[in-house]
Amino acid sequence: MKFIENLAKGSLVLLFGIFLSKLLSYIYRVIVARYLGSSDYGLLILGLAVFGVANLIASLGMRSGVLRYVSFYLGKKDYKKVKGVILSSLKLTFILGVFLGVILFFVSDFLAINLFHNSKLIILLKILAVGLPFVAMLDILLGVFLGFQKPKYEVINDKVIRSIVQILVTLFLIMLGYNVLGAAWGFVIGVITSTLLSLFILEFKLLKFLKSFVNHIKMTKELVNFSWPLVLTLVSGLIISYIDTFMLGYFKTASEVGIYNVALPTSALLLILPAALFVNMLSAMTNLYAQKKLNELKKVYNTVVRWLFLINFPIFLFIIFFSEGIITSLFGKEYLSANLALIVLSLGYLFHSLISYPNISVLEVFKRTKTILLINVIITVLNIIINYLLIPEYGIIGAAIGTGGSFILGAILFFLITKDIAKLSPKFISYWKIFLASIISIFVVYLLSTFLNVSLMSLIILFIALIVIYNLLMFLIKGFTKEDLIAFKAVLTGVFNR
């Protein structure tokens, strides 16, 4: 059971970093949505979606390549090539970032008026264009930190400092009356701050021992050859992430984009745990697969899926039962129409977190990356078709059905393919105690809620009550397995020994 303990401990740091990142990012959205209203918030979301697409092109998906080659050449102590990887990737992405930033600056009028039918988006896109060279470089620098096995620099720079600067600058500029432009500048200044700090750390913390190697070996061709196939997978993921927002912006109003993007990040909170477990699960299963320990690999798979269901299912039920309260207490009554979209999206993200995430890990271990890409392409095409058919008539509900439905179909496909290739499938029938405890707990908490007024504080109290009742029931009906208790003990040990 040592691998279970290591999996739990190893995921703790990642869980903290991802949770903090999601929390700060969510706070940024709450602030912008509450202070600016749905229309201006929707404008910002559209601008950030365009910015995200441009960033993908500027970075060429090179972060994974940089991580791989920095780690590889450090292991070989070939410091000239390490420096070559870093300098080649930074130069290329900076040039592409400047080039695309200039293009975005000058085509902002066309995009705003002809694609999204809103002239207020012009100045917003011009502001965001300033940040493109910096965010492209930042993506590379974060890959360098991981290549040097210094994830703390990634967490501090990207997930903490960047988010805090964005929140503080945005609040300050909004109070000065700059509204949505202030939010855009807050985002850009956060990116620039994080990039400059990352460059400082690279120069004075990581590259000290490389200074004697004045010359470096250019690695541009090798990096591009490795990275460009990954762009296809990233593009499909980006389309799934943004197509609903883009189509809402094209067919509907900025206000509806804003309302929809209250439901989207809230439902996506269900991905925090699988994102934290994903890296360590992949590493553990790859190691076991290399040693041909397939039975232990199966245990890791079943344990992770169980943990995901154990934690995410009661959270999903809480979102479903208290969707209206969550939206109104955090974002305001103006966004209440996002209620049904939140429920639909949460169902899609539940399937995505419980089935897609662990099965993608298995397919990567079995070197079936083309299969992953094929399924992602199918999901992407389906998402586009459903959104195109439903959004013009049903608006945000149509967008939610398109995205949520695509996630569910993807989960089914990943489940069937993994079962066929690796002979692995989750034992959902054996999770009946988790299901029972979750259902009873949510009904008890829902009854308690009838005695409280809807507010952020009452929701926090009810969520804590859900956790307490749920865990008590699980202990009473002996729902926790030996692996669960080992993991729980490992996490507590990891927390209190720090």
Per-residue pLDDT at 496: 39
In terms of average pLDDT, the best of 17-26, 51-60, 431-440 is: 431-440
Q: Other C-beta atoms within 10 Å of 367: how many?
A: 9
- Same domain (yes/no): 367, 482: yes
Per-residue pLDDT at 372: 82
- Same domain (yes/no): 334, 285: yes
Domain annotation covers residue 12: no
Where a domain ends, among 166, 190, 218?
Answer: 218
87-128 pLDDT, tens per residue? 888 888 899 899 999 999 999 999 999 988 889 899 999 999
How much is the average pLDDT of 449-470? Answer: 92
Per-residue pLDDT at 123: 95
Domain annotation covers residue 225: no
- Provide the residue range defining the domain that includes 145: 36-218
Q: Other C-beta atoms within 10 Å of 476: how many?
A: 9
- Same domain (yes/no): 494, 401: yes
Domain annotation covers residue 202: yes
- Same domain (yes/no): 51, 189: yes
- Same domain (yes/no): 343, 459: yes
Domain annotation covers residue 343: yes
**pLDDT at 498 > cutoff 50:** no
**pLDDT at 327 > cutoff 90:** yes
Where a domain ends, among 218, 242, 263?
Answer: 218
Per-residue pLDDT at 488: 61
- Same domain (yes/no): 238, 205: no
**pLDDT at 491 > cutoff 70:** no
**Domain count across the chain:** 2
| Confidence band for 495, pLDDT divided at 50, 70 and 90 | very low
- Same domain (yes/no): 193, 311: no
Q: Tell me the CA distances in angstroms from 442 to 217, 428, 430, 436, 446, one per residue in order.
A: 60, 20, 20, 10, 6
Q: Tell me the CA distances in angstroms from 64 to 24, 145, 271, one per residue in order.
A: 25, 12, 21
206-231 pLDDT, tens per residue? 766 455 444 555 555 666 665 555 66
- Same domain (yes/no): 184, 276: no
And the tokens for 120? 């207020």
Burial readout 188-224 (b: 16 or more C-beta within 10 A, e: otherwise): bbbbbbbbebbeebbeeebbeeeeebeebbebeebbb
Domain annotation covers residue 52: yes
| Confidence band for 489, pLDDT divided at 50, 70 and 90 | low
- 155 burial (CB, 10 Å; 0-12 / 13-18 / 19+) is buried
Per-residue pLDDT at 465: 96
How much is the average pLDDT of 411-430? Answer: 84
**pLDDT at 236 > cutoff 90:** no
| Confidence band for 241, pLDDT divided at 50, 70 and 90 | confident
Percent with pLDDT over 90 in the chain: 43
In terms of average pLDDT, the best of 56-70, 418-432, 451-465 is: 451-465
Per-residue pLDDT at 492: 47
Per-residue pLDDT at 216: 54
Q: Which residue has the higher pLDDT, 161 or 369?
A: 161
4-23 pLDDT, tens per residue? 555 555 556 666 777 777 88
DSSP secondary structure letter of residue 435: H
Per-residue pLDDT at 323: 94
Per-residue pLDDT at 386: 93
- Same domain (yes/no): 160, 187: yes
Domain annotation covers residue 19: no
132-158 pLDDT, tens per residue? 999 999 988 988 887 777 777 877 888
**pLDDT at 428 > cutoff 90:** no
Per-residue pLDDT at 429: 76
**pLDDT at 494 > cutoff 70:** no
Q: CB–CB of 383/403 below 8 Å?
A: yes
Domain annotation covers residue 4: no
**pLDDT at 179 > cutoff 50:** yes
Domain annotation covers residue 195: yes
Say which amino acid occupies 217.
I
Which residue in 235, 233, 239 sits closest to 402, CA to CA?
Answer: 239
Where a domain ends, among 154, 189, 218?
Answer: 218
| Confidence band for 441, pLDDT divided at 50, 70 and 90 | very high
- Same domain (yes/no): 194, 242: no
Average pLDDT along the chain: 84
Residues 6+ apart with CB under 8 A from 346: 266, 267, 270, 316, 319, 320, 323
Tokens 């993608």 appear where? 360
- Same domain (yes/no): 86, 212: yes
**pLDDT at 422 > cutoff 90:** no
Q: CB–CB of 179/36 below 8 Å?
A: yes
242-298 pLDDT, tens per residue? 889 999 999 999 999 999 999 999 998 898 878 777 666 666 777 677 777 778 888
- Same domain (yes/no): 344, 492: yes
Say which amino acid occupies 133.
P
Per-residue pLDDT at 62: 75
